[in-house]
Chain A
Amino acid sequence: MLLFRSLLCAIGLAGVVYAKSSKGDSVLVVVEPKQQDNYSIFFNGLREQGYDITFRAPKAETPAVIEFDAPSFAHVILFAPDTKILAKDLTPQSVVDLLSHNTNVIVALSSKQTAISTLAAEFSLVLPPPGSPLMSYFPERTDPATVVPVPVPASHPMLTPNLPPVWFSGVPHSLGNNPLLVPILRAPSESFAAEIDGGSADALVDAAERGGEGLWAGSQLGLVTGFQTLNGARITWVGGVDIFSDEFANKEVVKGLKSGNEQFVRDISAWTFHESMVLRIDETTHHRVNSTTPLEQYTTNDQIVYEARISSYDPKTTTWVPYSGLKDLQLEFTMLDPHIRTALLPVKGQPGKYSVTFRAPDRHGVFKFVINYKRKGLTYLQSSTTVAVVPPRHDGYPRFLSAAWPYYTGAISTSIAFFLFSAIWLAADSRDQKKGKGHKSE
């Protein structure tokens, strides 16, 4: 999948958590060279984790993201929300191509409408009209209304627990009901999107009454949202690029409490770059109970054992570690439609192993063991193993049943009677007897 394995930078400062992606280390950052230093904390953080960063101006042609139909980088960060027209190989279509080639992307938006922002609609994200960023009068603060401290969910599978609020400046977006979306950060309830200057109360009410999208307000709006495509590539849409900036990382939300920006952006880049919440199925096997060899065909009503081994990626050690934390994994035994769907439960004492025993249906045909596990934020686990189920062979049926005892005795007694009959017949006198008239001979 990757063409280049870039050289690793020297691993830097002591005490830094070294966490690497499971998909590759090369990162391309598209950012105006003048603004590159605004995000030095973020980029240095990535470098310390072992990523190899290449910078490129939005209008520059090289390095190309896709060359000869193969991606040149494992991950791409687009920090050019104000550039209206980007270089020729950074079109919305090329972003989609990157995702279909398993390249992960972080895209920053702004209240300006660019070509990339029109792509957001393809991911079920609706942006407000251009020129209306998010603003909030709550909590009362000296910063402008468009710089909003946003509380972070205390427990989110992707984020460090109990992060302090993050500073945000940018646009919200409205989430569709596409299940592939992974909401990460939502707007505060009191916030709303409005024109920065000259926005009037009447304009807000008119917008709401006009219908359509109506009023852009409240916690139903998202600020940072992830999306995992069906082939596993992850893209994160961030409403404003300032959330990555050094200024916001160092700003205090409350006197004495630094904002959570630095850790927050590290967490979302960890998810997007396939460091966290990454699972894979190592192997699946199936066999009859009391046996270990997988068969190509099973008989109806057989007791079949299906096992799967699942590991999760540990970014700190860059190894795959057996993972038994899936509580609702399901196995389907399918022939056109699922005939059996059962829970695939973890085996106590064997980390990473999930097993279930079930009885093959009494229908014969070609079946598939299907695992299709999709949950928000986790990699999609899919596996399908084809196997045949045949009716019992002619000698596979139960024999010597108690219900058939009379028939067995009938057959055997006929045999014995035949034997006795032939013995007596052969050994007898030749048929020379006169018919005894009136009395029987003894």
Chain B
Amino acid sequence: MPLKSSPAQPPAATNAVQTLWKAYNDQTPDRLKFIDAFLFFLMLSGVAQFLYCVLITDFPFNAFLAGFSSNVGQFVLAASLRSQVNPENKNEFKEVSPERAFADFALGSIVLHFFVYNFLG
């Protein structure tokens, strides 16, 4: 449902957000919510590191890049896992079984972490 984002109608906007949230809660399977929680965590963690870099210091810049891209990369991998195991997308990913998706996710994460720890310093 598209959000009516006109500021002159706060009650309607809040209403739209609430409806969206209710729909999300009702219609999303738990496995996907599980992944969504993971995504939310990664986003918060990345924002925290970004704030530190901007507000305090970016001194070991390589460490910032490593930490931040660890979060961002993991987010991307988890998001792609989510879209691949989503039963609604089954028609998109006919030849990719959920197990295959998870295997890709795991491999990608291991490689990502390797680069992250390489660069972390």
Binding site for B on A (CB under 8 A): 397, 399-401, 403-404, 406-408, 410-411, 413-415, 417-418, 421-422, 424-426, 428, 431, 433, 435-438, 440-441
Contact with A along B67-101 (1 / 0, CB 8 A): 11011001000100000010100000000001000
Residues in chain B near residue A426, CB distance under 8 A? 102
Which residues of B pack against A, CB within 8 Å? 25-31, 34, 38, 41-42, 45-46, 48-49, 52, 56-57, 59-60, 63-64, 66-68, 70-71, 74, 78, 85, 87, 98, 102, 106, 109, 113, 116-117, 120-121
Q: Assuming A440-B25, A441-B30, is B116 touching A411 (CB within 8 A)?
A: yes
- Given known A431-B87, A431-B98, contact A404–B60 (CB-CB < 8 A): yes
Determine the distance from Cα of A406 to Cα of B38 in the docked complex, in whole angstroms: 19
Chain B residue contacts of A411, Cβ below 8 A: 66-67, 70, 113, 116-117, 120
Q: How far is the CA of A441 from the CA of B113 in the complex (A)?
A: 33
Given B26, B42, B57, which contacts A414 in the complex, CB threshold below 8 Å? B42
Which residues from B are CB-within-8-Å of A424?
34
**Contact: A407 with B30, CB < 8 Å?**
no
Contact yes or no, A438 B49, CB < 8 A: no
When the two chains form their complex, are residues B29 and A414 in contact, meaning their CB atoms are under 8 A apart? no
When distances are taken between beta carbons in the complex, the residues of chain B under 8 Å from A425 are 34, 102
Chain A residues with CB below 8 A from B70, complex form: 410-411, 414-415
Residues of A within 8 A of B49 (CB): 406-407, 410
Could you name 27 residue pairs across A and B whose Cβ atoms are closer than 8 Å? A401-B59, A401-B60, A401-B63, A403-B56, A406-B49, A406-B52, A406-B67, A407-B60, A407-B63, A407-B64, A407-B66, A407-B68, A408-B67, A410-B45, A410-B70, A410-B71, A411-B113, A411-B117, A413-B45, A414-B116, A418-B113, A421-B78, A422-B102, A428-B31, A431-B29, A431-B98, A433-B30
For residue A404, which residue of chain B has the nearest CB? B63
B42 and A403 contacting across the interface, CB-CB below 8 Å: no
* Bound Cα distance from A66 to B74, whole angstroms: 86
Task: Give Cα A202–Cα B38 distance, bound, in whole angstroms.
Answer: 113
Q: Which residue of B lies closest to A420 (CB)?
A: B38
Chain B neighbourhood of A441, CB < 8 A? 30
- Chain A residues closer than 8 Å to B34, beta-carbon distance: 424-425
Give which listed residue, B27, B46, B85, contacts A435 with CB less than 8 A. Answer: B27
| Interface pair B26/A410, CB less than 8 Å apart | no
Residues of B within 8 A of A408 (CB): 63, 67, 120
Q: With A399-B121, A428-B31 as given contacts, are A437 and B98 in contact (CB-CB < 8 Å)?
A: no
Q: How far is the CA of A421 from the CA of B46 in the complex (A)?
A: 18
Give the chain B neighbours of A406 by CB distance below 8 A: 48-49, 52, 67
Q: How far is the CA of A414 from the CA of B44 in the complex (A)?
A: 11
User: Are A403 and B116 in contact, with the CB atoms below 8 A?
Assistant: no
Chain B neighbourhood of A428, CB < 8 A: 31
Query: Which A residues are in CB contact (< 8 Å) with B48?
Result: 406, 410
Q: Cβ of B74 and Cβ of A403 under 8 Å apart?
A: no
Q: With A and B bound together, what is the CA distance between A433 and B85 in angstroms?
A: 14
A407 nearest in chain B by CB position: B67
B26-A438 in contact (CB<8A)? yes
A418 to chain B: which residues have CB within 8 Å? 74, 109, 113
**Cα–Cα, bound, A400→B63 (Å):** 10
Closest A residue to B49 using CB positions = A410
Chain B hits for A438, CB < 8 A: 26
For residue B81, give the distance in angstroms from its CB to the closest CB of chain A: 9
Which has the most chain A C-beta neighbours within 10 Å: B56, B68, B109? B109
Q: Judging by beta carbons under 8 Å apart, are A417 and B42 in contact? A: yes
* A-B contacts besides A403-B56, A407-B64, A421-B38, 20 pairs, CB < 8 Å: A400-B121, A403-B59, A404-B60, A407-B49, A407-B66, A407-B67, A407-B120, A408-B67, A410-B48, A411-B66, A411-B67, A411-B117, A413-B45, A417-B38, A417-B42, A417-B74, A424-B34, A428-B31, A433-B31, A436-B30
Q: Which among B26, B64, B109, B121 has the greatest number of chain A C-beta atoms within 10 A?
A: B121
Selected from B41, B78, B98, B121, the residue in CB contact (under 8 A) with A404 is B121
Instruction: Enumerate chain A residues within 8 angstroms of B98, measured Cβ to Cβ.
Output: 431
Minimal beta-carbon separation of A52 from chain B (angstroms) = 73
Which A residues lie within 8 Å of B117 (CB)?
411
Counting from the closest, the 9 A-B pairs by CB-CB distance are: A407-B67, A404-B63, A410-B67, A407-B63, A404-B60, A411-B70, A406-B52, A414-B70, A403-B59
